[in-house]
Chains A and B, each alone.
Chain A
Amino acid sequence: EAQVTQNPRYLITVTGKKLTVTCSQNMNHEYMSWYRQDPGLGLRQIYYSMNVEVTDKGDVPEGYKVSRKEKRNFPLILESPSPNQTSLYFCASSLSGTGGIGEQYFGPGTRLTVT
């Protein structure tokens, strides 16, 4: 089954404790992306990757890191989480080409709480 998986689905952590949220897709998609979703603010892109070893900042990259060492995986790293990073996080993937980005397939989401 074609899918995007994220782990963990729920996470409660404390300020400053490094964490990683994993994202994996089995569709051989070039483009992968991380979003956060907050009430009233909608989906905001954190980082995206056009392909292996190519990553770029989205609209809200501060406090986050990503890496794209393999095509299928795109982990999101919070080196020193703070309470303002409490949010619902989504990973997504899609095909991409000269015409742009195709339909995005989203993961189930990771609800992160930083106390």
Chain B
Amino acid sequence: SQKIEQNSEALNIQEGKTATLTCNYTNYSPAYLQWYRQDPGRGPVFLLLIRENEKEKRKERLKVTFDTTLKQSLFHITASQPADSATYLCALMDSSYKLIFGSGTRLLVRP
């Protein structure tokens, strides 16, 4: 069956460290993958999109990698800050233009 999985356990890290979140998928061949940030009770906010022919994408302190062989995307936040604390969602588009979201990983950055 098709699945997109993110670590359901919260990631708890010290301010200043690099946070790495994982998104794995099975039985999809997405042309690209998106990452969103969601704060409690609010709508997700788009962060980055990476295409299948791109190995890595950066935006300020954010970096995303996409390995179509491993069927995995990694999302990194360098020099993390308490304000980065939120839930991070990955999403991919299937062949019929449906957008499939992972259930998200909660990041807690301790001061």
Residues of A within 8 A of B (CB): 4, 31, 33, 35, 40-45, 48, 50, 56, 58-59, 88, 90, 92, 96, 99-109
Contact = CB atoms under 8 A, between A and B. Distances in A.
B99 A101 contact: yes
A100 B28 CA distance: 15
Given A42-B89, A42-B102, A42-B103, A104 B97 contact: no
Contacts of B45: 106
B42 A104 contact: no
28 contacts: A4-B43, A40-B103, A42-B89, A42-B101, A43-B44, A43-B91, A43-B101, A44-B101, A45-B101, A48-B97, A48-B99, A56-B97, A58-B98, A59-B98, A88-B41, A92-B43, A96-B97, A100-B32, A100-B93, A102-B49, A103-B49, A104-B44, A104-B91, A106-B45, A107-B43, A108-B42, A109-B41, A109-B43
Nearest to B32: A100
Given A99-B31, A101-B93, A45 B98 contact: yes
Contacts of A33: 99
